């Protein structure tokens, strides 16, 4: 089978880590059957990992064909957690969809809320206030930290290191406490509204986050001390599951998976939203594209998120949180209860929803796991005709068969962990 090669000029990622322009050829995809033919049941062994297996990080089922202990191929089966979020969204007002977005990537709920709100705002042509912008950056970066902490903890458990798991989850717990202070829920935050936020942060929250930002790097350094140069960790991860830059682009990977392969593409840098280009931070990229580099990249991203959080706290402006237009966002409760006009808007908005103009909008944001895209089509009513999520971990998961090929069964666990999947988002 001949492979078609199309040379493409990538928008900004056309730079290699040294800063030279790079062209990355695209190849046509090859299905599993074309690549390997029918399973060879006589010589090889077929085993199922999952859907109820702790090492698959959710209800993922992997059908693995083994030759001895070497993986010949892996076929991931997904769909055990399918909830039909996108369809449900077609029957709900824009604001009513926000609780659904919590539950897609449930390890970074706030970032999903932000992604959806940005798309709906683009659709309606809403400009959010400066305070809201900064608070959303805080929400996104808090999500990145908890998501990477869960990743780090579960991956280190998969590879036999139990202690970093406990430290990582301690830090995650602190962020959860902050989320609880802000939104009243630890996981199902629903923190955004179209045109603003559900609630402003309290002074306790700001003080708590300051304290977190100051003490968090210590834990990162401890994790760094026990893992980065540890011979066991290095032996299990270096050279395992390699994706070259070219393959990573061809599999349309995004997020830390892509950057670990040496493609410096980060939505925050290349298609800035929420004024990310005014913050000072580094985008970490790897050189080898193996599990170890993904670990290095994610660990460094935690440091960088911490840096962004610190800057965001410093610049947190006063002023209104929500846009002032009572046709688009609910007026404050006390006004709705005292002022007749605000009350009418309040009723009208709840009963009819906010109508979006006919059109479509796509917004991609850099979620912890990669590019989270939200695509909305409106026919002029208060409910979207189509709501589609581009789930980063689903697309990253598609590279698993390629990465695991030829490795040992025990490496498959490390590779699967390094993808950082969350099944709520894969199956939606």
Partner 1 sequence: MAIGLKVMKRPGTQVSYLRATLKGMALTFSHLWRPKVTMQYPEEKSSKDWTLSPRWRGTHRMLTDEQGRAKCVACGLCPQICPANCIKLVPGEDEHGNRYPLIYEIDEFRCVFCGYCQEVCPEEAIHVGVHYENAEYSRDRFVYDLERLCAQTHPVSTLWDPSDPKGE
Binding site for partner 1 (CB under 8 A): 17, 19, 92-93, 95-100, 163, 170, 173, 177, 180-185, 188, 190, 198-202, 222, 225-226, 228-234, 238, 264, 268-269, 276-288, 292-293, 296-297, 300, 330, 332-334, 336-337, 343, 346-347, 350-351
Sign for the pseudo-dihedral over CA of 94, 100, 101, 102: positive
**Residue reference for tokens 């061809």:** 250
Q: Residue 26 or 226: which CB sits closer to partner 1?
A: 226
Query: What is the smallest separation between the CB atom of 293 and partner 1, expressed in angstroms?
Result: 6
Query: What is the smallest separation between the CB atom of 266 and partner 1, expressed in angstroms?
Result: 8
Looking at beta carbons, which pairs linking 76-81 to residues 24 or more positions away fall under 8 Å?
A: 76/397, 76/398, 76/400, 76/401, 77/51, 78/394, 78/397, 78/423, 78/426, 78/427, 79/427, 80/51, 80/423, 80/427, 81/423, 81/424, 81/426, 81/427
Q: Residue 49 or 328: which CB sits closer to partner 1?
A: 328
Query: What is the smallest separation between the CB atom of 176 and partner 1, expressed in angstroms?
Result: 10
**Residue reference for tokens 């369809």:** 87
d(CA 346, CA 351): 9
Query: What is the smallest separation between the CB atom of 55 and partner 1, expressed in angstroms?
Result: 22
- Ramachandran region, residue 190 (left: φ > 0; alpha: ψ -120 to 50; beta: rest): left
Query: What is the smallest separation between the CB atom of 283 and partner 1, expressed in angstroms?
Result: 5
Q: Residue 251 or 281: which CB sits closer to partner 1?
A: 281
Residue 17 buriedness (CB in 10 A; 0-12 / 13-18 / 19+): middle
Query: What is the smallest separation between the CB atom of 47 and partner 1, expressed in angstroms?
Result: 30
d(CA 367, CA 113): 11
Q: Residue 228 or 381: which CB sits closer to partner 1?
A: 228
């Amino acid at each position: 089978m001949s492979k078609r090669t199309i040379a493409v000029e990538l928008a900004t990622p056309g730079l290699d880590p040294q800063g030279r322009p790079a062209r990355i050829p695209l190849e046509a995809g090859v299905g599993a059957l074309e690549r390997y033919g029918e399973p060879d049941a006589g010589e090889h062994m077929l085993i199922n990992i999952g859907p109820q297996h702790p090492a698959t990080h959710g209800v993922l089922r992997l059908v693995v064909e083994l030759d001895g202990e070497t993986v010949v191929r892996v076929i991931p089966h997904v769909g055990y957690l399918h909830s039909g979020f996108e369809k449900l969204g077609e029957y709900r007002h824009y604001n009513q969809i926000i609780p659904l977005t919590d539950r897609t990537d449930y390890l970074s709920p706030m970032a999903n809320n932000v992604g959806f709100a940005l798309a709906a705002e683009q659709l309606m042509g809403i400009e959010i206030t400066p305070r809201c912008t900064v608070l959303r950056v805080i929400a996104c970066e808090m999500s990145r930290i908890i998501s990477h902490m869960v990743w780090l903890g579960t991956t280190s458990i998969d590879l036999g290191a139990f202690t970093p798991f406990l430290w990582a989850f301690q830090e995650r717990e602190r962020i959860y406490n902050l989320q609880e202070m802000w939104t009243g829920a630890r996981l199902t935050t629903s923190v955004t509204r179209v045109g603003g936020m559900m609630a402003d942060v309290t002074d306790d929250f700001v003080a708590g986050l300051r304290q977190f930002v100051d003490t968090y790097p210590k834990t990162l350094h401890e994790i760094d001390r026990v893992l980065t140069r540890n011979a066991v960790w290095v032996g299990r991860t270096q050279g395992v599951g390699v994706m070259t830059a070219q393959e990573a682009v061809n599999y349309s990977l995004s997020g830390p998976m892509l950057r670990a392969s040496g493609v410096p593409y980060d939505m925050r840098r290349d298609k800035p939203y929420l004024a990310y280009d005014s913050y000072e931070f580094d985008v970490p990229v790897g050189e080898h594209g193996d599990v170890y580099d993904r670990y290095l990249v994610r660990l460094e991203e935690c440091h960088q998120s911490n840096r962004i959080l610190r800057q965001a706290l410093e610049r947190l402006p006063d002023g209104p949180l929500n846009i002032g237009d009572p046709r688009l966002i609910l007026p404050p409760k006390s006004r709705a209860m005292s002022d007749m006009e605000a009350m009418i808007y309040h009723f009208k908005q709840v009963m009819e929803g906010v109508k979006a103009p006919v059109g479509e909008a796509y917004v991609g944001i850099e979620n912890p796991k990669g590019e989270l895209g939200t695509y909305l089509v409106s026919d002029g009513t208060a409910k979207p005709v189509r709501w589609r999520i581009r789930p980063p971990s689903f697309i990253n998961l598609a590279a698993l068969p390629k990465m695991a090929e030829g490795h040992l069964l025990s490496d498959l666990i490390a590779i699967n962990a390094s993808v950082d999947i969350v099944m709520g988002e894969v199956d939606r």
